[in-house]
Structure formats: structure tokens, C-alpha cells
Structure 1
Amino acid sequence: MTTHRSKMLIIGSGPAGYSAAIYGARAMMEPIMVQGLQPGGQLTITTDVENYPGFRDVIQGPWLMEEMKTQAEHVGTRVMWDTIVEVDLEGGSPFRAVGDSGDEYIGDVLVIATGAQARWLGAPGEQELGGKGVSACATCDGFFYRGKKVAVIGGGNTAVEEALYLTNHSDDVTLIHRRDELRAEKILQERLMKHPKITVLWNKVVESFEGDPLAGGLTHLALRDTVTGEDSDFHCDGAFVAIGHAPATELFKGKLELDDGGYLVVEPGTPKTAIPGVFAAGDVMDHTYRQAVTAAGTGCMAALDAERFLAGLEVDLHGHAEAAE
């Protein structure tokens, strides 16, 4: 077993982790980043990225993450190929984590950037057609379906919000729900029902996603009626699975406060958790925006607050730095 020690320990990667690492390294905190099971996060399974600032042309998600990783290493981050399986936050700084390799990681500050994963149906064809007609993020991919027929699968707030958003790009949006009533908030339901571009298919489940990943992508959904058992096909150009997200917070249950959705709770407007010196950035604490650019922003915030913490400073809501008591 090897012990790795640094002023800044980052668990997780992706835009939040890499941004925290870049800012942390430039502040001479010599960050150690433990990448986890999916280095680069959700963007490594995203193909076309058209909404990240600074790129006129479409870029590839894996390429963007590799560039961020290389930049973080270039300014002094040590990137470790390991997965954290245990954390010890008791007693305050320094904080200790143990990897699957058996190695120990110790940091005077800890940045948690473990992210979140979209929940999927698990139906045949879903993963094979991912990025080729099947998506879990309308904000990310809706632009590619301008003027096309799209479906949203789900019945909660996420599904209704995605359907409403997609009307900015499509005149033919269908919400497919397995029950005969929605779980979404009433005000969202009212907006959905009144919208002229949205149709609802009740009591339908997706049995499979059909199409050719190599030629044309998604062509239709194979549906089953939950009441009659009748099978049918629903032809569409794009399908958005909107059944929620699962933040990667299992490690922190009982150690940090989680909200009802399992996301880490932070002080509003900051990346600060209830434990001084422990910060959360990106999708692990953000159930509202869930974008690469906002994740990168909170990663920057976490590094700046970590630097102030190590300097013994606290910053009030007006941006004035004062010595911490």
C-alpha cells in the first residue's frame, strides 16, 4: 500500500474535477485526482458537443475531456488510475480516502466531483443507439432534432421539463408514460397539457429501441400498452429517456448531508459542504442544470474556496475576505 498526500485531493473527474484540478494546480496546491470508474464522466459517452463555449465547430465529448485532463496534468495535477472505495471525513482536515488498489490518499482539502449518471430504461437497443437517436439530455442534444419528430419517455418533472424544452426545436413532441397520470408538479402538467406541440401517450412502456446504429440511427420505438397488452410501433427521429439521474454519492451516505434525490447538500451559491474543507462540484451537487459548463464553473469555485480555506480565510456574501476564527 502506498500513501499519496497533497494539499488538495479530488475524487472524480469530468469537467468539474478537471477544472478544480487546473485552478488548484495553478494555486500551488499540487492536486491529486483519483479518476474513478469512468474517467472524464458522462462526456466520455457523448459524441457531438455543440454548446461548450469556445468552439465554433462541433467537438467530440471524449476529445474535450482528454484536453481538460492533459491541461490539468500540464499545470501540475497528478492523475491517478484508481477508484475510491472508502472515505474518512471525521475529525476534519486532513481527509483520508482509500482506493480499490489499496492505496491511501490524504488531502488537506477534499473536492468531490463524482458526478451523476442518467437513469436508463435498460431496454434493448437503448445503449446501442445512444447518441444516434437516443439521448438522456434534451438540453444537450435537442438542437440536433430541429424540425423532427421526437419522443420523451417518463412522467416526472424531468420528463415534462424536457418535453417543454424540446418544443423550442420540434413541432411534434410526444410524451410517453407508463401510467395514466403524471408525477410532475401540477403547474408543469398544466403547461404540458396546454402546449399545442405536445401529445401524451398514456399507459405505454418502451419494449425496445429500433434502428441501425451504423446507418441512420433510431427509426422507431416498440411499445406495449400496460392496460391491454397490445403492441405498437411509434416512429420518431429522436427519443429522450427522462426518468431522472442518480448522483454518485454512495460513498458519502452518513458522512455528508444528502437531499431527497441523493445529491450532496452545499451552502447555497457555493460548493461548500457542512464539513469545512470539503467541497462538492458538478453534477454530484447540481440537480438543476447538469451541464458541462456549469460543472466546470463549480469546479473552479471549489478550487478558489479551497485555496481560501487553506489560507485561513472565509469569504462573505459580498466577496470580502476575513480571517476564519
Structure 2
Amino acid sequence: MTVHHTRMLILGSGPAGLSAAIYAARAGMNPIVVQGIQPGGQLTTTTDVENYPGFADVIQGPWLMEQMQAQAEHVGTRMVWDTVTGVDLTRRPFRLNGDGGDVYEGDVLVIATGAQAKWLGIDSEEAMKGKGVSACATCDGFFYRGKKVAVIGGGNTAVEEALYLTNHSPDVTLIHRRDSLRAERILQERLHAHPGITVLWNREVAGFVDGGGTAGLVGLDLRDTTTGETSRLATDGAFVAIGHHPATELFRGHVDLDDDGYIPVQPGTTRTSVPGVFACGDVADKVYRQAVTAAGTGCMAALDAERFLAAAEHESDREAMREPLREKENAEASW
């Protein structure tokens, strides 16, 4: 067993984790990033990225993450490819146990494990991801300007995505497997009032139709949940909007989680319920879920952690200065 110690330990290597690492390394904190089972985060599964600041042309998600990692390593970050299987946040330094037996210790811990979109799980879905099937309208809606699109789901996320897509598409269809939506009433009212949105009730997606060659998605095979009848909906793009899974199971019982499994942070900060533990990116953000916002909160986490350590070390120095005075006072009292 090897024990790796650092002033700042970062779990997760997406935009949030790597941004935190860049700032921490530049501050001389020699951070260690434990990459986890998906190094680079969700952007490594994204092809075209057109909304990350600083690039006039479309860039590739995996390339962007490679550049972030190279920058983090260039300024002094140590990258470790390991999967964490256990944590101990009851004392500092915090300890993470790796799958291979190594132990990672950090005077502070930054959690940047992200969140994964929920998918339908049907056979044709995986093959069509990035070829007309997406889980983020804000990320990919721009590519469907003037085209016909569909949104799958019935909660707040689905309704919000459908409304957002009307900025790009004149023909948006919301597909829901029940006869009523779970979304908040105000969102439902906006949805039903919009002339560019059609709702298909009691329908579930049975398959994504590949047009072959470079055509990508051309339609959805639908099944009526009440009659079992099947039909086909022609569409250029489909957005699966049935929620997200924050990657927080490892921290359940160790740090406060909200009802949806996300890590709540103190407003305006990245501080969690455990002093010295910080959360950034999609693991703490159920609203925006963008690479640029994740990177921003990664910066915040590094700065919050640096200030926490500075305050703790200042208090330790003050305590060390008080100790000789206590010893002198005790000695005088015993005379």
C-alpha cells in the first residue's frame, strides 16, 4: 500500500476538477487529481462543442479535456488514474481508498465527480448518441436551427428543454409516456401556450431510426402505452430529458446530500457540510450543468480551499505561540 499526501486532493477530472487543479497548482498546493472511471468527464463523450468561450470554430470535447489536463499538469498537478472505493472524512487529512490499495490523503478535498444523464436504455440509443440523440438541449440545440426536434420526458427538465429549443426550432414535439406532466404548473402553462410545441401523450420511444450513412437520426419509433399501437415520428434530433444521476453515492453518510443526491453548498461558495471539503461542477449543480459553469465553480473551489487552509494554518500558528505562555503560566502557578 502506498500513501499519497497532498495539500489539495481533487476527485474528478472534468472541467470542474481540472480547473480547480490549475488554480491550486498555480498557488503552490501541489494538487493530486484522482481521475476516476471516466477521465475527462462527460465532455470526453461529446463530439462538437460550440459554446465554450475562446474558440471561434467548433471544437471536439475530448480534445478540450486533453488541453485542460495538459495545462493542469504543466503547472504542477499530479494526475492519478484510480477508482476510489471508500472515504474517511471524519478527520484531516481526509482519506480516499483506491481500488488498487493505494490511499490518497488531502488536507482539503474537492469533490468534482459530476453527474450523468439518465438514458432510456434501449438498444438503438447508444449507437445514435451524437448522431441526432443528445441529453442536453442547451449544449446541442444550436445544431438544429430550423429543423424538427423531439424531447422525451415529462418533468421540469423536459419542459424547460422543449421551451428552450423553440429558440432554434419551429417544430418541437414533447413525448411523454403518461397522460399528465410532472413539471411545475407554471412551466406546463408556458408549454401549452407555445404554438411551436406539440405534446404526444401516452407514448414511449421504442427505437431511434438511423437514416444510414451520414444522415444520422431521421425518426423515432413510438409505442402507445395504452393501446400498444406503434407509429413513427419523423425528426432530425431527439433530446432525452429524464433527469441526471449525481455521482455522490461514495459520499452518502459522509457529507450532506439533498433529496436528489446532489451535494448542497453554502450560497456563493463551494463549501459543503464538512469543513475542508468542497464541491464543484455538476455534482453540486442541478440547474446549469454546463462545462463553462463547471469550470467556474472549479476555480471557486480552489480559492475556497486555499483560504480555508490559510485560515487553519494561521490558527495553528497562533495556537503554537500560545503554548509557551501556557507553560510559563502553569510553571508560575506552581511556585
**What is the TM-score normalised by the length of structure 1?**
0.95
Deviation at 1:244, TM superposition (A): 0.3
Aligned residue runs from structure 1 range 48-87, under 5 A: 48-87=48-87
Corresponding position: 1:243 with 2:242:
yes
Q: Which amino acid aligns with 2:206?
A: E
CA pair 324-219 structure 1, distance change in 2 beyond 3 A: farther
What is the CA-CA distance between 1:42 and the residue it aligns to? 0.4
* Compared CA separation, residues 213 and 254, structure 1 to 2 (3 A): farther
Would the aligned equivalents of 1:43 and 1:62 in 2 still touch at CA under 8 Å?
Answer: yes
Could you list the runs of 4 or more consecutive aligned residues of structure 1 that deviate by over 6 angstroms after TM superposition? Answer: none
1:260-275 matches, within 5 Å, as: 260-275=259-274
Q: Which amino acid aligns with 1:14?
A: G
Q: Corresponding residue for 1:257?
A: 256
Structure 1 residue 15 corresponds to structure 2 residue 15: yes
Residue by residue, what CA displacement relative to the aligned partner does 1:186-227 show, whole Å, maximum 9, x if unpaired?
A: 000000000000000000000111104642100111100001
* Identity rate, percent: 73
Aligned ranges for residues 293-312 of structure 1 at < 5 Å? 293-312=292-311
The TM-score with structure 2 as length reference comes to 0.92
Deviation of 1:127 after TM superposition, in Å, equals 1.2
In 2, are the aligned partners of 1:312 and 1:324 still within 8 Å (CA)?
no
More helix by share: 2
CA RMSD, 1 decimal: 1.5
Report what 1:286 is aligned to. Answer: 285
Quote the residue 1:41 is aligned against: 41
Q: For residue 25 of structure 2, what is the aligned residue in structure 1?
A: 25
Which amino acid counterpart does residue 279 of structure 1 have in structure 2?
F
Partners of 1:197 and 1:25 lie apart in 2 by 49
Q: Secondary structure at the match of 1:155?
A: coil
Q: 1:213 to 1:114 in 2, by over 3 A?
A: farther
Query: How far off its partner does 1:268 sit?
Result: 1.1
Q: Give 2:149's aligned amino acid.
A: V
In structure 1, stretches of 5+ residues that fail to align are: 315-322
- Equivalent-residue separation in structure 2 for 1:213 and 1:54 (angstroms): 34
The question of 1:191 aligning with 2:190 is answered yes
Larger radius of gyration: 2
The gaps in structure 2 that reach 5 residues or longer are 320-335
Q: What is the CA deviation profile of residues 24-60 of structure 1, one whole-angstrom value per residue up to 9, with x for unaligned ones?
A: 0000110000000000100000000000000000000
Deviations 1:228-268 (A, max 9, x none): 11000011000000000000000010111111111001101
Q: Which residue of 2 aligns with 1:318?
A: none
1:142 aligns with 2:174: no
